[in-house]
């Protein structure tokens, strides 16, 4: 019976870890750019307050319904703004986590070795 002799460097048959890592890096850059161009909306008070962020957590716009300003309840407005902002941040995080899951799929078993 012939002995098995692995092919390629370091015993891997046709597997190039450096090529895989370069592909992952390219994919991550594409995803980061796409995420930065997306917008994410958080709202509170039944849509009376809306905050729009981009994928880099930069505020793009804030909408406050005029009725809230007429009421003059500053504390309520502050709470609604904080809630809307936090909702938008959560949306950006969800999209970022989805991207990371795609990268982990691309890496396969190597993800564990890289601490992902």
Residue 74's CATH number: 3.30.1310.10
Lowest mean pLDDT among 29-38, 41-50, 57-66, 107-116: 107-116
In a domain, 21, yes or no: no
How far, in Å, CA of 90 to CA of 92, rounded? 5
In a domain, 17, yes or no: no
How far, in Å, CA of 53 to CA of 74, rounded? 23
pLDDT attached to residue 27: 87
| pTM for this prediction | 0.73
CA 75 to chain centroid, in Å, comes to 31
Domain range for 57: 38-109
In a domain, 42, yes or no: yes
In sequence order, the 6+-apart residues with CB closer than 8 A to the CB of 31 are: 99, 102, 103
């Amino acid at each position: 019976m012939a002995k098995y002799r692995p092919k390629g460097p370091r015993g891997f048959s046709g597997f190039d870890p450096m090529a895989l890592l370069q592909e992952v890096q390219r994919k991550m850059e594409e995803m980061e750019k796409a995420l930065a161009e997306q917008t994410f909306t958080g709202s509170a008070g039944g849509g009376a307050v809306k905050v729009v962020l981009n994928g880099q957590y930069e505020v793009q716009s804030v909408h406050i319904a005029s009725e809230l300003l007429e009421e003059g309840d500053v504390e309520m407005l502050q709470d609604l703004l904080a809630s809307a902002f936090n909702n938008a941040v959560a949306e950006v995080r969800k999209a970022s986590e989805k991207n990371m899951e795609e990268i982990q799929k691309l890496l396969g078993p190597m993800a564990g070795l890289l601490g992902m």
